[in-house]
Amino acid sequence: MMERLAYLWPEIAVFATTCIVMVLGLSRSLAVRKASALVSGLGLLVALYLAITTTPGRIGGTLVDPAHGQSFLPTMVPFAKCLICIVALILLPLLAGTVDRAEEARIASGRGVFNPLRSNRAEFYSFFLFSITGLLLVASADDLIWLFLALELTSLPTYVMVAISASRHRAQEAGVKYFFLGALGAAMFLYGFALLYGATGTTNLNKIYDIFTASGISTLGMLGLLITLFGLFFKIAAVPMHFYTADVYQGAAPGVSAMLAFVPKTAGFLAILLIVGTVGWRFGPEGAGASLPEPIRITLWVAAALTMTIGNTLAVMQSSAKRMLAYSSIAHSGYMLVGVIVGPGDASFSKSGIAAVLFYLLAYGVMNVGCFAALAAIERKPKAGEDEAREIDHVDDLRGICRSHPVAGWTMVLCALSLLGLPPLLGFFGKLPLFTSAVSAGEIPLVIVLGLNSAIAAFYYLRLMALPLLEEAHPRAEATEDAPFAARRIAGVVSAGGVVLLAVLAGQLMTQSEIAGRYMPQYKPAAAAEQSQPSLMDALQAVPGVTGGR
Amino acid sequence: MLASLILIPLAVALAIVVLPAASARAAALLGTLAAAAMTVVALVQFDWTEGGLMQFLTTTEWLPALGINLSFGADSISMLMIALTALLGPICVLASWTAITERVKTYYAWLLILQAAMVGVFVARDLIFFYICFEFTLIPMYVLISLYGSTNRKRAATTFFLYTFTGSVITLAGLAYVAYFNSTLPVDAFAGAGTWTFDIDTLEKAAAGQMSLSQQSLVLLALLCGFAVKVPLFPVHTWLPLAHTEAPTAGSVILAGVLLKLGTYGIYRFALGYTPDAFVYYAPVIATLCIIGILYGGLICWVQTDVKKLVAYSSVAHLGFCVLGLAALNHTGIQGSILYMINHGLSTGALFLLIGFMYERYHTRNMKEIGGLAAKMPIWATFMVFFVMASVGLPGLNGFVSEFLCMFGTFQASDHWSTGIWGSENAATIGATGGKLGPWYAAIAALGVIIAAMYLLIMVGKVVFGPLKEPGGHDSHGGGHSGGHGADSHTHLPPDLTAREITALVPLALACLIFGIYPKPLFEALKDPVNDTVAWVHKIAPPPMPEGNVNPSMIGSVEIGSPAANAASNVQEIAR
């Protein structure tokens, strides 16, 4: 029991914070309710600390015991939790002012008194924390049922958050769309899980791995794997499960869209790595094959190529900045799928696709939050008769904002260039290991597709860069003003700073993500299923860089 | 030492951002002069007797997980290119002195950042650092063209960015492949083999020495995707005239002077260094593209009415000569090519300056609207004629030397030519001759020289001489008197060049003259690195020798049975 708990301290911390925030939401005082964001931030900080110090599988934590956690990617767990907490901490200030804004403005102007029944603030933040809890649980999953519950815990709060994030019909429409398609995705991977259970007789990922390694993958098992993957494609917004993305991102408030681009995507990629990890990247007799099983490899290959191409091509055609970023988010999923196909390589960062994916998730999280923060930090002045300022969405609204709103403008410029992968920004160092690992795995055609897609992407990222920096505001454009939430600008500054500084200081992060991307079965070649547990421990102890005793 | 050449412009750029706009151009001038002074110090400290050695080497660990270091070093070729960059820096600031009146801080800050990135390309000894600088030149140039260019600037800037970005992403894939290839080699093959590194020298040994011809060919293709676009070679040159025409004067000067040379420099360093087998094998193809570019560029120039576009297309033709010299694969050709990089930067840079000065006064570049400016601007006309002569290749000026060497190298680069060459003490050593081109290539390329003389002289004839013609209703029949106020009333510039403009032109003119009359110091400086390169190419891919004239030292230098020797024998078979 305690061994299992050792995995869960960050989740427990976030969940406890969630409960505190919900209780705060019962308060009759506005000041107390306003503290909910602060409390959430403190909870995430504690979770980050716990993820660094206690989670088994890495420096600072203890070594993993295969009886109490998934054992083929054990070092991924702490890294994933750290990256989730870090990006969640940047997301949190971006959510400022998303709900209850009109109500609180009315109170501030003295036209009304605080009505506890009409405030959603605390609920909004606790939904955010619920979602983060789910995401952390995905990282530590070792069982299909656990994985399913964690994925649903990640997604369910986001449906509500989308719907209440803005007081307009489009947000509700987006929420409904997202919910129905999300339910479809969930149904798909649940069906896949059921088939996997039928094929192997167990829901434990370690045991599924052992059975697949010992006796191959049955047709039923392969069907289960493929259906699961398609279900998870919904989470990462990969083709062919990407259709909801643009509408939902556009409908939601920018802070929530930024969250949608990171939280479900990260959940999806962690889950995909776990599911694909049960068959391994050297699938074959005695774990000595050349690559993933062919049907899975082909599925992922086609999905990756289509996802980046369709995402980038459609993004070029958009005139709404949020839709553009939505399609760009699809394209980036395609880039990361390349790393999933490549797999762990050998124990070096430059050849490990998993390490590249984990590093890219962090890089993408940071630069993507920056772009949405730039959108959230500016809004149109309310027209006569409107009591609420409207957010900017059309790319033309971005014209010249480097001069009129320097913080938001430069955040957009830096983050768009980083998403493009222009050196020496963070996005380049995220993309470089994808290149090197795919080249090392011999996936040259995929590298060419990736390269050409980076070039297509230049079309629209260049617009996102050039409009704020080089253009003048349109003379007939509606007047814009800084959104009255400094927190949103802080989120932007932090991401823009991260895009520049993390690129310079990426060395340690790369080392950590290399350790995190180690696929344990490859450290114990030709291990039979029944010997796997003791020999795995030996293998883990032999891994350079993983120190610390039990 | 070399790092300071990058850091000074960056620091000045930062200072410009902080300082008020009124002092931006002065700060930029001081900054570029400081960088130039620092470059002079570096040039003095450089040991020119050992020009082939990488000097001022420093290495700092950056991202060990990806094998990336910050390492700098320069041989004499790098030093000359840095000197060219540093020389053009203050000249560009002087050229923009009155032309840029809006958003001056942005302009000068990006100009200095651009200079830092260009120097970075030439001093990089780490492949990723090279690539970072190579790519990063795009953003400042994009901003300069798209903010300060003429009417069609947005499209020109976007085309420029997308073209070069697309090509260089493929180059990155090729470089990643070389790094991967090196990491798969046995550790004892040579120092650095079997590790993941982006060290330029280590990877050179890996790629050139161990790859098969087909692997090298793929790498060469990937490299050319980026570098040929940058040069630009014939089928991928279409961005250049647009970018040149729309760019502000200083942008054109830097584009022609240095940015295009990043492509030829890349071909010299990486296509020759990393993939000599493939380069030798495909030299005829590359040379053919160059010759098409020379003739096609020249013919297009002939029918141009836009002066700036004419000079832009002439760059396509000139850079064709430059790469042709590299493809000749012998001492003469490569030396000529590197001289060409510098000389083209000087003379074409100056031509763009002159056209910029003219445009600032008349706001047109159309040869139908202007003519006979010698009557109005005698100093300008003198410089114009001088630099056109340098560009045409008049003996006694710099263009002649390099163009002649490129042609001569191409001419003598036949399989069975092995006697010594003019001007080289190393005539009899390995690699003094060889290559796969020959008199035919040279003969056809020589047509380009004639065409170049034709279009440039026609341009001079129309714009400088003949009856005075000024735009905007000042078409004077009798002389300059009625057009006297037309131009300067708009721009507050005197009719002829100011002292500032002359100051910008004189260094270039002096350099053209000195390198034309007395190019020997340059030859001396380039001898060692070019010898090393030629020896390297011919060690990896030995040229077929005539019967009975086999150089024994060369046969011994490649181990029989090594991939390189196998590849080389493949090349020989195919060549026969």
Q: Identify the pLDDT of residue A521.
A: 73
Q: Identify the pLDDT of residue B489.
A: 43
Residue whose entry in the numeric block shows the structure tokens 């990491």: B183
Rounded CA gap, A413 and A420, in Å?
Answer: 11
The rounded Cα A58 to chain-centroid distance in angstroms is: 22
Q: Identify the pLDDT of residue B564.
A: 44
Return residues 313-342 of A near B (CB < 8 Å).
Answer: none
Strand order in the sheet with A378-380: A390-391, A378-380, A480-482
For B229-288, the pLDDT digits (tens) are 998 898 899 999 999 989 999 999 999 999 999 999 999 999 988 998 898 888 889 999
Q: A367 is written with which tokens?
A: 């630069």
Q: Identify the pLDDT of residue B337.
A: 93
Average pLDDT (B164-189) is 89
Lowest mean pLDDT among A258-272, A483-497, A534-548, B410-424: A534-548
Chosen from A426, A436, A505 to mutate, greatest number of chain B CBs within 10 A = A436
* B64, B139, B172 member nearest A507 (Cβ): B64
Lowest mean pLDDT among A98-102, A263-267, B214-218, B272-276: A98-102
For A442-467, the pLDDT digits (tens) are 888 999 999 999 999 999 999 999 99
Q: Does B195 touch chain A (CB under 8 A)?
A: no
Lowest mean pLDDT among A2-6, A530-534, B121-125: A530-534
8 A C-beta contact, residue B170 and residue B226: yes
Average pLDDT (A11-39) is 89
Q: Is the peptide bond before B467 cis (omega within 30 degrees of 0)?
A: no
Q: Does A348 touch chain B (CB under 8 A)?
A: yes
Rounded CA gap, B380 and B445, in Å?
Answer: 31
**CB burial string B30-49: b at 16+ within 10 A, e below:** ebbebbbebbeebeeebeee
Q: At what angle do helices B499-517 and B378-392 cross, to 10 degrees?
A: 30
How big, in percent rounded to 5, are the helix, strand and coil portions of chain B? 70, 5, 25
Q: Identify the pLDDT of residue A291.
A: 80
Length of chain A, please?
550
Q: Does A470 touch chain B (CB under 8 A)?
A: yes
Kind plus residue range of the DSSP H or E element containing A143: none
Q: A290 is written with which tokens?
A: 């050349």
* B66, B139, B162 member nearest A433 (Cβ): B66
Average pLDDT (A152-165) is 92
H helices, E strands: number in chain B = 24, 2
pTM for the whole thing? 0.89
For B22-75, the pLDDT digits (tens) are 888 899 999 999 999 999 999 999 888 888 888 888 888 888 888 888 899 999
Rounded CA gap, A339 and A350, in Å?
Answer: 11
Rounded CA gap, A169 and A64, in Å?
Answer: 48
Average pLDDT (A423-434) is 91
Residues from chain B that touch A399, judged by Cβ atoms under 8 A, are none
Q: Indicate the pLDDT class of residue B100, thresholds 50, 70 and 90.
A: confident
Residues from chain B that touch A447, judged by Cβ atoms under 8 A, are 173, 176
B69 to chain A: nearest residue by CA?
A: A507
pLDDT at B160 over 50: yes
* B146, B162, B176 member nearest A435 (Cβ): B176
Percent of residues, chain B, with pLDDT higher than 90? 40
For A516-525, the pLDDT digits (tens) are 888 877 654 4
H helices, E strands: number in chain A = 23, 3
Nearest to A474 by CA among A404, A371, A384: A404
Residue whose entry in the numeric block shows the structure tokens 């091509």: A313
- Please classify residue B191 by burial: count the beta carbons closer than 10 Å to its beta carbon, then call 0-12 exposed, 13-18 middle and 19+ buried: exposed
Average pLDDT of the residues of chain B: 83
Q: Identify the pLDDT of residue A62.
A: 59
Question: Hey, is B124 helix, strand or coil?
Answer: strand
Neighbouring C-beta atoms of residue A544, cutoff 10 Å: 7
E-assigned strands of A210-330?
none
Average pLDDT (B102-111) is 90
Q: Identify the pLDDT of residue B568.
A: 43
Chosen from B133, B138, B172 to mutate, greatest number of chain A CBs within 10 A = B172
* A436, A455, A459 member nearest B180 (Cβ): A436
- ipTM field: 0.89
Q: Identify the pLDDT of residue A52.
A: 86
Average pLDDT of the residues of chain A: 86
8 A C-beta contact, residue A85 and residue A51: yes
* A433, A448, A459 member nearest B162 (Cβ): A459
pLDDT at B342 over 60: yes
Return residues 402-441 of A near B (CB < 8 Å).
Answer: 417, 422-424, 428-429, 432-433, 435-436, 439-440
Measure the CA angle with vertex A235, ends A233 and A129; round to 5°.
165
For B203-212, the pLDDT digits (tens) are 888 888 888 8
For A325-354, the pLDDT digits (tens) are 999 999 999 999 999 999 888 778 888 999
Give A125 to chain B, closest Cα distance, Å.
Answer: 38
Lowest mean pLDDT among A494-508, B34-48, B243-257, B475-489: B475-489
B61 to chain A: nearest residue by CA?
A: A507
